[in-house]
Structure 1
Amino acid sequence: MASFVIDSELYKGIYGSEEMNKVFSDESLLQKWLDAEAALAIAEAEVGLIPEEAAREIAQKAKFDNLDMPTISKGIVDTSHPLITLIRSLEKICDGDAGGYVHWGATTQDIMDTAVVLQIKEAQDIVSAQLKTFLETCLTLAVKHKETIMPGRTHGQHALPVTLGYKMAIWADEIGRHLERLEEGKKRYLMGQFAGAAGTLASISESGLEVQEKYCRILGLEQPTITWHVGRDGFAEFASIIAMISGTIGKIANEIINLQRSEIGEIEEGFAMGKVGSSTMPHKRNPMVCEYVVGLTRIVQRNASLGFDGMMQEHERDMTFWLTEWSYLPQICMMTSGGIQQLQGVLEGLIVHQENMTKNLYLLQGLIVSENLMLKLGKYVGRQVAHDIIYDVSMKAFEEKRPLLETALEHKEIMIHMDEEEVRSHLNPKSYIGLCTQFVDRVEKKWSPLVINQTNR
């Protein structure tokens, strides 16, 4: 019976993605323990440490279907040890004396750490693929809307005109940087763990590094320079990147929520008949999916902080924080993947209300481009004097609820240097979007090769 939101038949569609949930399933974890044990046996046989026949037998029997899950589960409780029952079970099903070579020279943490790394390796591949698809969608929307003018906002207030494509290009650029971080981080945290009881490889010291190199190579992992039993910075880095990815996804979702407000209404989470916003207010079209995503981000970022706690290890081994990794790493991966999946659907069905953007652009009757008028006037009277003049006419327009054009035309010093047509042209919001379109082109040029490579793979 499921008792957690990720496994819940009711909620799992909100909290995770099916593909990622499989990576962190019990079946997947147990198989990765077995994969590590098999790789160790093969590596040791290659250097003549154990018989080749024993290694082949161990590798052949190290399959999930050969073991009994209830026995493993009960054994973990009965022994208070996370791995000994699996070791004993694998030993029993191996023919001949092969079972006596299972787990040779290893310590429990070697196998369990390696299994977690194998899981996050798969998880990273899934997240990277999701992000590349998401990046492609952001770039497509950015190019499509690079000239769709809307109010830019700072501190929750109208600032200067921007374009929707410019806003989306910022999202895309951030996603691209996350993909770079994931790629660059591989060499630091996708490392195998095989170091023995105190990390010194004393149990097989004569061939320890050679076995370790082969073990990591078989598993497709990096070989560490030294044991990382108590060096958990790799997991902290991975958790940080995942938390940042989730933060970007949450930021985008939150922006859509805000821009969908009834008073703004510029963009809207996709809607189809049958989607219900409220159980009591029939008219509601709530950004429910985006709200789910923001909620997931909060959970991910708080859980990811356990990665920093886990760096505080004692002596040569410490289980007090090691235990947290089995919980928080799966959760942040599953929930981040779920958030990306949810928001991908939102962007694919995004509704853009361009007429509301245009209406809002003129909401302040010219005040949104007061900077343009100030800078043009500054050419004649200096920037600070111009600022003071435009401040006065802007506050007058604001307080009297009149167009800035009217109050500007009434100001003698402005009219000494400009005629009415100049003032009017300087207060046209559509003429003051800066380099929005060029920035979209720059972002598209930088990251589109990444998307093309993903598509062609």
Structure 2
Amino acid sequence: MSAYVIDSTLFRDQFGTEAMRRIFSDETTVQRWLDVEAALAKVQGELGIIPRAAADEIRRKARVELIDLGALKAEMDRTAHPIVPLLRAIKRVCDGDAGEYVHWGATTQDIVDSGTVLQLRDGLEEIERDLRGLLDNLLKLAATHRDRVMVGRSHGQQALPITFGFKVAVWAEEIRRDLQRLDQMRERVLVGQFAGAVGTLSALGEHGIAVQEGLFRELGLGCPSIAWHVSRDSLAELASVLAIATGSVGKIAHEIYALQKTELGELEEPFSPGKVGSSTMPHKRNPAACETVVALARVVRSIVPLALEGVLAEHERDKIVLQTEREYLARLFGLSHAAIAKTRAIAAGLTVRGAHMEENLYRQRGLLLSEAVMMRLSDALGRQEAHEIVYRICMEVFEREGTLKEALLADPLVGDRLSPEEIDALLDPKAYTGLAGAFVDRVTARRQDITP
């Protein structure tokens, strides 16, 4: 039995992904620590700070499969320390005295932070790949349904006609901005840490900067201008950006959820035979995937305050912050990636029910086009007077049923100015979508703006 859904055999694929479980597994976490130690030894061996033979041996033995994780965990419990037990384990597997040169001039947080950033880099690559896939799916949907007219809604009520392509293009542009935010934060987030006990690299003296720069060239990470042991703003930014991106897909999923309601029936998330909506009502086709995405977005949002708390770190080192990050980072990535990957799949297999969209256009018996009538009458009566007249007529239609056309023709202020044919033209929803198609074209034409 698992204590948390991310690791649950039953629920883990609803709340995480195999990729994120692998990236943030114990095995990968230890390997990333070893990767940093190996890169540090390599650079120091090349600079003559430690014997090159020792550096080569450390690099050969910096493999997680050589470490007994059970014994490592026991030592971590005994010492209340994550890295010292690892250093002892490396020393045991290294030949000769090579193990004496591991971790030269480093401090624990250097290894932990840099190892974590390597994991974040891998995690971001997975998330960005699925966000790009989602964007591509949305752009295809927008182009395909560029001219499919549907009801546009505001405050949950019918407002004016739009096209489904226009709605999806709005989603696509938001996902594009999410990708831009992810790309722009990389230079601030994917930065290594190597600064020594209090950030001054005092143990390495004049060689400190050369080692630091060489280490991060080797690891492919940015080199900080100064230690960020207690500057956790970049991780707060990371959490915020992922929460925004997850919020974007949550919004899309919630919109599909709303439009899948029986009374609307305009969209449906992917359905396959065998998918069950209810244990007691066999007819149900519930939007289970969309519901999960919305739930994930809400949970991810709740992580942001934890990340912001980390900005208030103390003095030159603060383990309280590190322990908080250890709890939320893997969860943040697992939940975020699950939400984004699920939404990509939803968009790829979305069912668009055009007949229901068409039917809903006429549900209000012409009221959907009240603005078109008002604007036409404004030429003769003025905008405010036309609004008052059309408002009065619309309220009568709401209360007494009938159609807007009938009410317009019966009103002397309108019937004398508009013929039945003109009213029919004004009440045609397919003739009043404005520049929806042009905006879709504008968004889809930017397909290559975000490149890998």
Q: TM-score, normalised by structure 2?
A: 0.97
1:369 maps to a residue whose letter is L
What does the per-residue CA deviation read over 1:227-264, in whole Å, with 9 as the maximum and x for residues that have no partner? 10011111111111111111011111111111011111
Larger deviation, residues 151-160 vs 347-356: 347-356
Structure 1 residue 329, shift from structure 2 partner: 1.1
Contact 1:24 1:330 in 2 (8 A): yes
Confirm or deny that 1:214 pairs with 2:214: yes
Where does residue 57 of structure 1 map in the other structure? 57
Q: Which runs of 5+ in 2 are unaligned?
A: none
- Matched ranges for 1:85-164 at <5 A: 85-164=85-164
1:95 maps to a residue whose letter is D
Where does residue 393 of structure 1 map in the other structure? 393
In the alignment, the residues of structure 1 paired with residue 17 and residue 254 of structure 2 have an alpha-carbon distance, to the nearest angstrom, of: 21
Structure 1 residue 449, shift from structure 2 partner: 5.3
Confirm or deny that 1:262 pairs with 2:224: no
Where does residue 223 of structure 2 map in the other structure? 223
Contact 2:162 2:436 in 1 (8 A): yes
1:73 maps to a residue whose letter is K
Structure 1 residue 114, shift from structure 2 partner: 0.6
Where does residue 37 of structure 1 map in the other structure? 37
In the alignment, the residues of structure 1 paired with residue 209 and residue 365 of structure 2 have an alpha-carbon distance, to the nearest angstrom, of: 73
Structure 1 residue 299, shift from structure 2 partner: 1.3
Q: Which runs of 5+ in 1 are unaligned?
A: none
- Matched ranges for 1:22-421 at <5 A: 22-421=22-421
2:344 maps to a residue whose letter is Q
> What secondary structure, in the 3-state scheme, does the structure 1 residue paired with 2:159 have?
strand
1:58 maps to a residue whose letter is I
> What secondary structure, in the 3-state scheme, does the structure 2 residue paired with 1:305 have?
helix
Where does residue 15 of structure 1 map in the other structure? 15
What does the per-residue CA deviation read over 1:127-176, in whole Å, with 9 as the maximum and x for residues that have no partner? 11111111111111111111111111111000111111111111111111
Contact 1:173 1:447 in 2 (8 A): no
What does the per-residue CA deviation read over 1:282-312, in whole Å, with 9 as the maximum and x for residues that have no partner? 1111111111111111111112331111111
2:395 maps to a residue whose letter is M
Confirm or deny that 1:433 pairs with 2:433: yes
1:243 maps to a residue whose letter is A
Structure 1 residue 402, shift from structure 2 partner: 1.6
Contact 1:149 1:357 in 2 (8 A): yes
Structure 1 residue 123, shift from structure 2 partner: 0.5
1:414 maps to a residue whose letter is V
Structure 1 residue 59, shift from structure 2 partner: 1.0
Structure 1 residue 332, shift from structure 2 partner: 1.3
In the alignment, the residues of structure 1 paired with residue 387 and residue 95 of structure 2 have an alpha-carbon distance, to the nearest angstrom, of: 87
Contact 1:58 1:99 in 2 (8 A): yes
What does the per-residue CA deviation read over 1:88-116, in whole Å, with 9 as the maximum and x for residues that have no partner? 11122222221111111111101001111
What does the per-residue CA deviation read over 1:32-91, in whole Å, with 9 as the maximum and x for residues that have no partner? 000011111112222222121111111111111111110111111111112110011112
Contact 1:136 1:448 in 2 (8 A): no
In the alignment, the residues of structure 2 paired with residue 146 and residue 13 of structure 1 have an alpha-carbon distance, to the nearest angstrom, of: 34
1:247 maps to a residue whose letter is G
Q: What root-mean-square deviation, in Å, do the aligned CA atoms of Structure 1 and Structure 2 show?
A: 1.3
1:213 maps to a residue whose letter is E
Structure 1 residue 446, shift from structure 2 partner: 1.1
1:140 maps to a residue whose letter is K
In the alignment, the residues of structure 1 paired with residue 75 and residue 134 of structure 2 have an alpha-carbon distance, to the nearest angstrom, of: 43
Structure 1 residue 20, shift from structure 2 partner: 2.0
1:224 maps to a residue whose letter is P
> What secondary structure, in the 3-state scheme, does the structure 2 residue paired with 1:283 have?
coil
Q: How many residues align?
A: 452
What does the per-residue CA deviation read over 1:345-381, in whole Å, with 9 as the maximum and x for residues that have no partner? 2222211111111111111111111111111111222
In the alignment, the residues of structure 2 paired with residue 28 and residue 228 of structure 1 have an alpha-carbon distance, to the nearest angstrom, of: 23
Contact 1:304 1:329 in 2 (8 A): no
Q: TM-score, normalised by structure 1?
A: 0.96
2:334 maps to a residue whose letter is M
In the alignment, the residues of structure 2 paired with residue 386 and residue 82 of structure 1 have an alpha-carbon distance, to the nearest angstrom, of: 74
Contact 2:131 2:344 in 1 (8 A): no
> What secondary structure, in the 3-state scheme, does the structure 1 residue paired with 2:314 have?
coil
In the alignment, the residues of structure 2 paired with residue 146 and residue 332 of structure 1 have an alpha-carbon distance, to the nearest angstrom, of: 35
> What secondary structure, in the 3-state scheme, does the structure 2 residue paired with 1:158 have?
strand
In the alignment, the residues of structure 1 paired with residue 181 and residue 243 of structure 2 have an alpha-carbon distance, to the nearest angstrom, of: 12
> What secondary structure, in the 3-state scheme, does the structure 2 residue paired with 1:203 have?
coil
In the alignment, the residues of structure 1 paired with residue 448 and residue 226 of structure 2 have an alpha-carbon distance, to the nearest angstrom, of: 39
Structure 1 residue 324, shift from structure 2 partner: 1.2
> What secondary structure, in the 3-state scheme, does the structure 1 residue paired with 2:250 have?
helix
2:150 maps to a residue whose letter is M
Structure 1 residue 448, shift from structure 2 partner: 4.1
